[in-house]
Structure formats: structure tokens, C-alpha cells
């Protein structure tokens, strides 16, 4: 018995049942998705409803922010490469590594917001 099932059984008065109807092809698609990802339909439905109610739109916003940051990282790397090719100089590796670490940390923060 999974932890979720144990929680459900330990507090039966706290749970309410929600029923829904789906077209057969949509139901089959959801069932196949659950089987492929080894999750129960009930868990998928609860999680989906929760995400919609608590930040589904903000996920899109966060993904756009990540896209912007990845673009900025690419621009920074292009500037480093252009400078190195133009002058024949490459900044100190520790300086480049520090810049990359800063970029990685900004990206990590943005990803953490999405996957919270």
C-alpha cells in the first residue's frame, strides 16, 4: 500500500470523491500516460488540478524567464568568444569560470521557481 493510500485510509472522513466523464479516446490517452509514467489516474488528476489552481499560469511566466536567461547566457558566451577571437586574448579562466558560475546560479534559481 502506498503512502498516499495509507493517508487516505487513515483519515477517511477528510476525503471527498470527485467524478468526471471523459471521451473514450481521451480516457485511453490519460490511462496510457499514467501507465507509462507509473502513476495512478487519481494522483494525476489531483496534481493537475492543484497545479492549475496554484500557479499553472505562473509556470509559463517562469519558463519565459528561463528562456530569457538562457538567451542572455548565450549572448555572454558569444561575447567572450568574439573578444577572444578578435584580440587573441582569453580572460583568466577563473574570471570566465566565475561568470559561468553566476549564470548557472541564476538559471538554477529560475528553474527552482518552476519546479517548486
> Is residue 15 in a domain?
no
Query: 89-103: per-residue pLDDT in tens?
Result: 766 666 667 777 877
1-11 residue pLDDT tens: 455 555 556 66
62 with 110: CB under 8 angstroms? Answer: yes
**Could you tell me if residue 48 is inside a domain?**
yes
Q: What is the rounded distance in angstroms from the CA atom of residue 47 to the CA atom of residue 99?
A: 37
Q: Do 80 and 106 sit in the same domain of this protein?
A: yes
Q: Tell me whether residue 2 is in a domain.
A: no
Note whether residue 14 is domain-resident: no
- pLDDT value, residue 23: 93
Looking at the fold, whether 110 and 86 belong to one and the same domain comes out as yes
Are 92 and 61 in a shared domain? yes
Q: How far apart (Å, rounded) are the C-alpha atoms in residues 63 and 111?
A: 8
Asked if residue 101 is part of any domain, the answer here is yes
By residue range, what is the domain housing residue 71?
A: 57-114
> pLDDT per residue over 57-114, tens digit each?
566 677 777 888 888 888 888 887 787 778 877 666 666 677 778 777 877 777 777 6
**Per-residue CA distances from 111 to 8, 61, 63, 66, 105 (Å):** 32, 12, 8, 7, 10
Total structural domains within the chain: 2
11 found inside a domain: no
Amino acid at each position: 500500500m502506498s503512502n498516499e493510500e495509507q493517508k487516505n485510509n487513515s483519515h477517511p472522513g477528510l476525503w471527498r470523491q470527485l467524478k468526471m466523464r471523459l471521451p473514450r479516446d481521451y480516457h485511453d490517452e490519460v490511462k496510457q500516460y499514467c501507465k507509462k509514467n507509473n502513476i495512478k489516474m487519481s494522483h494525476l488528476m489531483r496534481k493537475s488540478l492543484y497545479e492549475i489552481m496554484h500557479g499553472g499560469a505562473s509556470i509559463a511566466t517562469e519558463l519565459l524567464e528561463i528562456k530569457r536567461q538562457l538567451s542572455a547566457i548565450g549572448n555572454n558566451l558569444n561575447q567572450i568568444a568574439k573578444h577572444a577571437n578578435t584580440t587573441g586574448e582569453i580572460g583568466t579562466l577563473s574570471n570566465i569560470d566565475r561568470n559561468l558560475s553566476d549564470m548557472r546560479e541564476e538559471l538554477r534559481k529560475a528553474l527552482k521557481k518552476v519546479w517548486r
